[in-house]
Structure 1
Amino acid sequence: MGKIKETSTNFENKKVLADECAEVYAANIIGGQWSLVICSWLTNGKMRFGELKKSIPNITERMLTLQLRKLEENHIITRTVYAEVPPKVTYELTEIGYELKPIILQMEQWGTRHKKLNL
């Protein structure tokens, strides 16, 4: 399944819905397993790329890079490059990104309860 083309009816419907519904807008930004798990790890503080990769063993380096870029573009995380050799880069949640912490914790609690019901 590829990216939705910006000229498609599906893309237009998704855009209109996101414009009219704040919940859909938010879900479009942090939706998907990788964005959510990256944000979850970053609620504990700054992390380097390698630390994130070790914390999320099933994600590929390419996918991690793409997701970090998407989160940075949406101002959920910041990327800081330090003038060192070798270069040091850290990622951390922005102020608005840290506002996700109680939401992520509530999702974890809800997921735990729901999972028990379905076992």
Structure 2
Amino acid sequence: MENRHRIFSVSVASVYPHYVAKAEKKGRTRAEVDEIIRWLTGHSQETLDQELAKQTSFEDFFAEAPGMNPSRSLITGVVCGVRVQDLEDGTMREIRYLDKLVDELAKGKAMDKILRKAPA
């Protein structure tokens, strides 16, 4: 339980540069990382920037998100050896959803597919 609390109390802002670096290393952009986070959480760019500036913990970031995207349940696959769809803990599942989306971005997946948009 101690380890779980430490993970959730980590600020999103402390991990955010790693998400951006991972994306940029593969030719993607900070704007695309932000788009993914906004899609997942319902934040506007302004409120996302505010949460990063406030050093909001992952636990509070997801608990107080304006509107978690219902399509996030379509995110499946393995992150750190764990199937995201099988995680029972809500906050850990949300963190892994975000990790998975950033992984997909870094792997060159099209943004429409990352954001689980149906083909037009």
Q: TM-score, normalised by structure 2?
A: 0.27
Q: TM-score, normalised by structure 1?
A: 0.27
Higher-helix-fraction structure: 2
- Structure with more contact order per residue of length (Cα contacts < 8 Å, sep ≥ 6): 2
Higher-strand-fraction structure: 1
Larger radius of gyration: 1
